[in-house]
Structure 1
Amino acid sequence: MGVPRSRGATNELGPDEDSGGAPPGCSGDPGVPVGEEAVPGAPSDGSELLAALLDGMDAALCAFDAAGTVTHWNREAERVLGWSAEEAVGRSGFAGWAVRRADADEVRARLMSAMDAPGRQVHEFALLRKDGGRVLVRTQSAGVRGADGKPAGVYCAFSEVHAQIDLERAIALSEALLEDASWGVVLVDVDLRPTVVNAHAARALGGSRTALLGRPLGELVVQGVEELEAALHHVLADGAPSAPAELWVTLRTAEGERRRCWRSGFLRLASPLTEEPVPLGVGWLFQDVTAARLAEQEADRLRFRTSQLHRAARTASECEDPMEAATSLLDFALAGFADHVLVDLVAGERLVRTAATPFDAPGPCLLVAGGSIPARYAPGHPALQSVERTGTVRTSAGAGAAVSPAWAVERRWPRDAAHALCAVLRSRGRTLGVLTFLRAANRAAFERSDAAYAETVAARVAGAVDLARQLTRE
């Protein structure tokens, strides 16, 4: 077989054979010069295109004719082994130059066996570099048939084993991440729409893996989508952040809305097939850390409240007037807990307002000027329920801007109140009154842990009120 000397093409390997009675030096086909042939068994009219294609391949490739002579050698093969196409094409096998002579026969036999075997064969060989070093390669070889259907040669694609292993590891890692990883993985395109969602992420987002594809993130995330999209845009423009970020989001699910905290990492995806990086999207990996963050918040809240109670006790111990001590306790208890506080004490069959914070503006808890004022509570009022039950009562008008001031006005509370917690004041087995904490609509409703804290404050205030009454009687 003979071809022109060029990268990815063949050299002239033997005497030309004239066909069809053509003059010496010419072939029977006037359009094809004698000695030019493309891939073994392939038509000869595309040799230049074939040479360009072979040189553009990422894999090292060589070819042998039926006699074992090297007919093709591309640029990647030159990079891996150091031998140029001019030096490689025309040699008989690898013996003595690309393989040690002791291994040459075995390597030749295993490569050429692909010519008669169906499909591809995979082998690993230690080849010689031009500088004398050795490199372990993994080959995939396949036979080539001629136009007559008979074996015409062998193609052999090879790459360094470590590069192949790196590729296989990368593929295995991506498949594992997108199948059964213990954290969510979402691939987002440049339009910020999910293109691949693993099983963990699908469960976290409240849908199936296929149903989530192509949907805008705003359809999945009720609150927090702006922060998430801003992070994705930043990654597309400037690359991945240096550290994970924690995002609080509210999800829309069949059971209702759920608020979650996701510890998220982002990776910009770019095509490896272009010289200039072309963004393909963003890889978003996240873990649900809601439980841990809520536990941390609760621990921080408990530490703060314990500290406030300690400071309140020290301040109250310096007050000569027990009622002044009670209002000092409430000033410390209000910080971070409520917006208003009311103190209604029992006077016969009714409650009278004894101390309160200002209705129209933030301020300290002060005793009512000029004496106590009867609290005109309607039957069924939460404060009256707390006294009747000798326990804590929580109530709420809802959250957000839709809360009407009429709800608070009807209950004789400040107009901005939307959430209330009433704790009974008891000392020495007697009910002394009720303590009412109020929050505005922009804050969350009182929870069970808030009730426990309010009861602790109420017990201390009740002790101070009881002492004040004893001193008054004396």
Structure 2
Amino acid sequence: MVTFGQSPREGDAASPADRPTGLVVTDAQGVVLSWSRSAEHLLGYTPAQAVGRSLKELVDLAPPAAVGSGTREESHRVLPVRRRDGRLLTLPVSGHPLVSDSDLQGWVLALGPPSDPLGGEAREALVEWLLNRSGTALTVYDAELRCVCQSAAMRRITGVPDDLRRGRGLSEVVHGASVAEWERRMRRVLETGEEQVAFDFRAMPPTVSRTHVYTVAAAPLRDALGRTFGVCTAVSDVTEERLIRERLSLLNEAGARIGSTLDLVRTAQELTEVAVPEFADFARVDLLEGLLRGEEPAPGPIPGAVRLRRIAERVWFEGSSEEVAVAGDADVYLASSPAALCLASGRSALYRTSDPAVSAWIAASPARQAKVRRYGTHSWILVPVRARGTTLGVVMLTRTRDTPDPFEPEDLALAEELVSRAAVCLDNARRFTRERTAALELQRSLLPQGLLQPTAAAVASRYLPASNRTGVGGDWFDVIELSGARVGLVVGDVVGHGIHAAATMGRLRTAVRALADVDPTPEELLTRLDDLVIRLSAESVGAVSADPAHDSDADTGAGIEATCLYAVYDPVSGLCSMARAGHPAPALRAPDGTASFLDLPAGPPLGLGGLPFESAELELPEGSVLALYTDGLVESRQHDIGQGLDTLRQTLATPAVSLEALCDRVVETLLPVRPSDDAALLLVRPHPLGPERVAVWNISPDPVAVAQARADTLRKLGSWGLEEAAFVTELVVSELVTNAIRYGDTPIQLRLITPQSSGTSGSASTRALICEVSDSSSTAPHLRRSRAFDEGGRGLLLVAQLTDRWGTRQTTTGKTIWCEQTLQADTLSSR
């Protein structure tokens, strides 16, 4: 066995006094003339390499006369001398001059051996301190990597006594995955003579119950001649430093990853992804079931049995991580279960599988028993999810056989910090889900609940809320029945998202319905709607400026921006008049299957004021489809609006079995994923009325023409098979024609219209009968209360009582008074 201080390669004596002295002869200028074998051993140069070269150039050493002695006498000094491998040796240098005839001919230099700064008792004291009292873990190996000695600190780490450690290799007494790498680095030190930087390995010392992290550095041991004869390794326990670093890294990752969305399930999944496998082998998030129904949790702890719904679970098993599909599984935790105890106390808990509370809970379920046996679960942490004074649920973390180290109290503190950060994000997601649900309910209540199916057209619609942080926008659409079997079509978009946009949308939709009731032209309706938006914007700005608590930098939504398109389709003429205020142009699918966008004047967005709107009129042939939409349908982050419009045109051109099927196809094609903006789509297939369903008579201003109008009406009703409606219709025609002759101006016209069906149900067993009387006077009639002996004033009252709806609309040439009867099944069955 090689002992400390003996060279296993050269067999040189251990004492410095027994080591050779290098002899060198130079001329007066310092050029080497002779170089001994001992000088070769000391400095690494062979005689052939040294002779003829300057001593200064060779080993960075000058002869005594050249280094400032100023004499030709002997010189004895301790000087640094550089070896061939570049290392500096501090050697005693003795110079003896060679003199001939009083002239200096050269020098004889004696180099070494190196002086020993520590000798005798000092060396022994140093060795004794390093090996027995120092906290540094050291091991000295010989050239065969056999242990020569180890320090007391190393003995405590390995747990191997000196008599079993000495003379053995590392792999004979220490086991683990890092041993081979450790030996490889020590062998590298012997081969190259270079120190190997520290590397990490993990091991469990015999005196502790958890894995420690160590760093190992290996350095060469050299003799006085610089030859490597062994290796010294130094081991440092960096467990605490690494744990602190890992915990800070875990908390930093939690802050960066948890809460990236306001989705409750996704936030819980992010918590499990951070915890597994860096901290635990299994993580599960259970929340109170009422939270998922939008209920507000009660403050404080939750005593007794509790029903929890699992929303996220992840497990690390046999080297791979797996997210378990929980699908909202719910379970009742009895009051004695660890989860219920945690929620009842409001404090975190650390368990071992053998603890009574855990073992009893596991024994109560064969499924739990099988899972614990499969994973080898040995350590548990349960942390209540608490935020803003309320308890939301509980997080369960476990370690299995894949992580032998059990949870310790410091791990419990880390788990509490981790869950507390996630709890705020979970509560934010819960609050957002509740508010978003309420906002969506508000928005749905403001949109048409059941889309009206007018007599003049078939309609189908779709509305998709945005998938952004609010999910509530200001898009809307509507279908409005107008007089004369006409139908009003509207689609609009309030810029922005949230409750403010939804509420503004509801106000504008109500305004459009109110304005449409007086039958303005499309451009007139948009002009009045523009005035309304300007007033609403001014009111919002005034309310915000009057609020002293308002933050001027916040997004108030005070300014209202909106777009709108309004169209009126007349099935009698087959014409559709439409105007738009900054809204995308509608698309039309012709009866031959081709689709194109209508050339419609754009008009300014609502709220600008002072700019005119223009309308255009076009024919909608039977079999065509008109598509009205908002920009959220054709514009997204994945493509620009031009590409979206082209896709819409191509999709509309494809055949479909129904309007509903075509609606589905458009949405699936243009919005394959949840949209970033809300989108609305309204498809309309017109039903023109042929001349056989419309009757028109020009009325003479002579009172005797009233009788002729009644007779013509009865004949037409007979040809339509509506004899049961003759009595009411005859009275209505008589009153309206009489009023037009008495109070109106010529020309006077009577028109009867009978569409196929009427009402919102679209049932084939109902039918509408419309009566219209037009004249050139712009004076609108009105109902008034007649006294008992008044001879007039009861005509319009009679019309209002006998019909379902009545009204008046202004035209470019005067006015039209109209009324409508809905003929039910019992009336039509007598035909």
1:460 corresponds in structure 2 to 425
User: Are 1:58 and 2:32 an aligned pair?
Assistant: no
Shift in Å, 1:264: 0.5
Equivalent of residue 416 in structure 1, options 358, 375, 393: 375
1:342 maps to which of 275, 281, 285:
285
Partners in 2 of 1:431 and 1:230 — Cα distance? 55
Give, in angstroms, the shift of residue 188 of structure 1.
1.1
Query: What is the one-letter code of the residue matched to 1:267?
Result: P
Give, in angstroms, the shift of residue 345 of structure 1: 1.9
| Cross-structure match for 1:390 | 346
Is the CA contact 1:185–1:201 (under 8 Å) kept in the aligned structure 2? yes
Residue 168 (structure 1) aligns with: 116
- Alpha-carbon contact 1:394-1:420 (below 8 Å) kept: yes
Query: Secondary structure of the residue that 1:436 maps to in structure 2?
Result: strand
Q: Alignment partner of 2:233: what SS? A: strand
**1:282 Cα deviation after fit:** 2.8
Counterpart of 1:196?
149
Whether 2:331 is the aligned partner of 1:374: answer yes
The separation in 2 between residues aligned to 1:102 and 1:362, in whole angstroms, is 82
Residue-by-residue CA offset, 1:232-264 (whole Å, 9 max, x unaligned): 34444x434564131324254455676241231
Q: CA deviation at 1:391?
A: 1.6
Q: Secondary structure at the match of 1:283?
A: strand
- 1:13-52 → structure 2 map (5 Å cutoff): none
Counterpart selection for 2:392 from 409, 424, 432: 432
Q: CA deviation at 1:127?
A: 2.4
Deviations 1:331-380 (A, max 9, x none): 654464444423142669422334233779955576635xx5333x4664
The question of whether the paired residues in 1 share the 8 Å contact of 2:271 and 2:422 is answered with yes
2:416 to 447, 451, 460: 451
Distance in 1, Cα, partners of 2:169 & 2:434: 65
> 2:145 aligns to what SS in structure 1?
coil
1:470 shift after superposition? 7.8
| Distance of 2:214 and 2:396 partners within structure 1 | 32
Partner of 1:315: 261
Change in CA separation of 1:436 and 1:381 when aligned onto 2, cut-off 3 Å: same
Q: Encode CA deviations 1:187-239: one digit per residue, 9 max, x unaligned.
A: 21345331133566556556776774335535754533333233334444x43
Contact persistence 2:138–2:150 (CA under 8 A): yes
| 1:128 corresponds to | 97
Cα–Cα, structure 1 residues 301 and 220, in superposed 2: closer, same or farther, change >3 Å? farther
Letter of the 1:168 counterpart: D
1:391-444 CA-to-partner distances (Å, cap 9, x unmatched) read 22233449xxxxxxx889436967537243322133554433322234443135
Which range moved further: 336-345 or 406-415?
Answer: 406-415
**CA distance in 2: counterparts of 1:103 and 1:430, whole angstroms:** 95
Contact residue 245 and residue 264 of structure 1 kept, 8 A: yes
When residues 337 and 174 of structure 1 are mapped into structure 2, their CA distance, relative to the original with a 3 A threshold, is same
Contact 1:439 1:445 in 2 (8 A): yes
Any idea what SS the aligned residue of 2:261 has? Answer: helix
Contact 1:417 1:438 in 2 (8 A): no
CA change 1:288–1:438 in 2 (3 A) is: closer
Name the amino acid aligned to 1:451: E
Give yes or no for contact 1:340–1:438 (8 Å, CA) kept in 2: yes
Maintained 8 Å contact 2:98/2:107:
yes
- What SS does the corresponding residue of 1:368 show, helix, strand or coil? coil
Q: 1:175 to 1:258 in 2, by over 3 A?
A: farther
Question: What's the secondary structure of 1:442's corresponding residue?
Answer: coil
CA contact (8 A) 1:424 1:431 kept: yes
Residues 290/410 of structure 1: CA separation in 2 closer, same or farther (3 Å cut): closer
Cα RMSD over matched residues? 5.2
SS at match of 2:166: coil
- Write out aligned runs for 1:69-468 (5 A): 127-129=96-98, 132-133=105-106, 159-160=110-111, 163-164=112-113, 166-169=114-117, 178-180=127-129, 183-198=136-151, 201=154, 205=158, 212-218=165-171, 221-223=174-176, 224-236=178-190, 238-240=191-193, 243-250=196-203, 252-254=205-207, 259-267=212-220, 280-309=229-258, 312=259, 314-316=260-262, 319=263, 323-324=264-265, 326-327=267-268, 329-330=270-271, 333-334=274-275, 336-338=278-280, 339-345=282-288, 349-357=305-313, 364=323, 368=327, 373-375=330-332, 377=333, 380-397=336-353, 409-410=367-368, 415-416=374-375, 418=377, 419-427=379-387, 429-443=389-403, 444-446=405-407, 447-448=411-412, 449-465=414-430, 468=433
Q: Alpha-carbon deviation of 1:390? A: 0.9
Q: Name the CA shift for 1:413/1:124 in 2 (closer, same or farther; >3 Å).
A: closer
Give the secondary structure class of the aligned counterpart of 1:357. Answer: strand
8 Å contact 2:384–2:394 — kept in the other structure? yes
Q: Which residue of 2 aligns with 1:52?
A: none
**Alpha carbons 2:261, 2:267 under 8 Å: kept:** no
- Structure 1: 5+ residue runs without aligned partners? 1-55, 62-74, 83-99, 108-122, 137-158, 399-405
C-alpha spacing 1:307/1:220, structure 2 compared with 1 (3 Å)? farther
Distance 1:290 1:280, change over 3 A: same
Q: How far is 1:383 from its partner?
A: 1.1
The one-letter code of the counterpart of 2:350 is R
Q: Is the 8 A contact 2:186 2:218 kept in 1?
A: no
Residues 193, 217 of structure 1: 8 Å contact kept: yes
Contact 2:287 2:311 in 1 (8 A): yes
C-alpha distance in structure 2 between counterparts of 1:441 and 1:209, whole Å: 33
Distance 1:228 1:271, change over 3 A: farther
Q: What code does the residue aligned with 2:254 have?
A: R
Give the letter aligned to residue 410 of structure 1.
Answer: R
* Alpha-carbon distance change, 132 to 386 in structure 1, aligned in 2, over 3 angstroms: farther
Match of 2:167, SS?
Answer: coil
Q: Which runs of 5+ in 2 are unaligned?
A: 1-17, 24-35, 48-69, 77-91, 291-303, 355-361, 442-831
Cα pair distance change 1:472/1:60, threshold 3 Å:
closer
Counterpart code for 2:343: V
TM-aligned CA distance change 1:422 to 1:133, over 3 Å? same
In 2, the alpha carbon distance for the partners of 1:363 and 1:199 equals: 45
Distance 1:271 1:249, change over 3 A: farther
Aligned partners of 1:352 and 1:373 also within 8 Å: yes
User: AA paired with 1:246?
Assistant: F
Question: What is the DSSP-based 3-state SS (H/G/I as helix, E as strand, rest coil) of the residue aligned with 1:315?
Answer: coil
Q: Distance in 2 between the 1:205 and 1:235 partners?
A: 22
**Residues 1:298 and 1:222: Cα distance change in structure 2 (over 3 Å):** farther
Q: What is the alpha-carbon distance in structure 2 between the residues aligned to residue 472 and residue 417 of structure 1?
A: 42
Larger Rg over CA atoms: 2
Residues 1:357 and 1:297: Cα distance change in structure 2 (over 3 Å):
closer
Paired-residue identity, %: 19
CA contact (8 A) 2:73 2:97 kept: no
Give the letter for the 2:166 counterpart.
L
